Amino acid sequence: MSFKVSGKITKITDIKTLDNGAKLLDFVIDTNEKYNNIFSFNVYKSADYADQVEKFTTYNQIGDLVTVEFNVKTREWEGKYFTNLSCWRVDKINELPSGENITANDFAPDRETADLPF
């Protein structure tokens, strides 16, 4: 399942090179919504595609308005669960679309269907 959210880039970390040659960076966007307004994404590419992580910083800067498409990935380690927002597409936009950001209300049942027994 993939998700999409739009916002302004507020932080981009330095690129980290892992022991296996893969590269990783994190970036944060602010959706300017009242709740659930900050999202932290990671960009991870294996050694074969590591140059794509460097391209991210070439095309995206702090302050850019973007739409991010991402997957939610969760791993279990020693009884603890860790969740990552793994982005797979970032597009620049001119303005934030209204009503397209993920908010807490997206997961609430519709008023018309809330009374259904299933």
Which range has the worst mean pLDDT, 11-15, 28-32, 60-64, 92-96? Answer: 92-96
Terminal Cα-to-Cα distance of the chain (whole angstroms): 22
HSE of 62, CA atoms in CB hemisphere, 13 A: 7
Per-residue confidence (pLDDT) for residue 95, from 0 to 100? 82
For residue range 61-89, list pLDDT tens digits in order.
999 999 999 999 999 999 999 999 999 89
Q: What is the pLDDT of residue 115?
A: 55
pTM of the model: 0.75
pLDDT at 4 over 90: yes
> Residue 79: its pLDDT value, please?
94
pLDDT per position as a tens digit, 82-106:
999 999 899 999 887 765 544 444 4
Could you tell me the CATH superfamily of domain 2-107? Nucleic acid-binding proteins (2.40.50.140)
33-66: b (≥16 Cβ within 10 Å) or e = beeeeebebbbbbeeeebeebeebeeebeeebbb
Record the tokens describing residue 15, joined without a space.
Answer: 């690129």
What does the domain layout of the chain look like in residue ranges?
A: 2-107
